[in-house]
Amino acid sequence: MKYIQIDLHFVRNLVQCGILNVQHVNTQDQLADRLTKALSQQRTETLRNKIGLADGTSILWGHIKEHSSNQVNVN
């Protein structure tokens, strides 16, 4: 609890001095949702695009197919 209080006072001082500008973020725009909630594919894509991440699924699937065709069965 001590660290939360220190951080709260630190941030509050920055806001009061005008160094940090705090703005309201709508629930629909919370980027942290991507890390903490199960989201639909559309919502995931929206948030991924918002933070500038590329869709890597096609890269991964190509890599998986490449390696699966090179597998050798050992009995």
* CB 48, CB 55: distance < 8 Å: yes
Residue 16's pLDDT band, with cuts at 50, 70 and 90, is very high
The pLDDT value recorded for residue 19 is 95
Question: Which residue has tokens 């939360």?
Answer: 4
Q: Residue 10 pLDDT > 80, yes or no?
A: yes
Rounded Cα gap, residues 57 and 53, in angstroms: 12
Structure confidence by residue, pLDDT tens digits, 43-70: 888 888 888 877 766 665 555 555 555 5
The pLDDT value recorded for residue 48 is 83
Q: What is the pTM of this model?
A: 0.39
Q: Residue 25 pLDDT > 80, yes or no?
A: yes
Q: Domain map of the chain by residue range?
A: 12-57
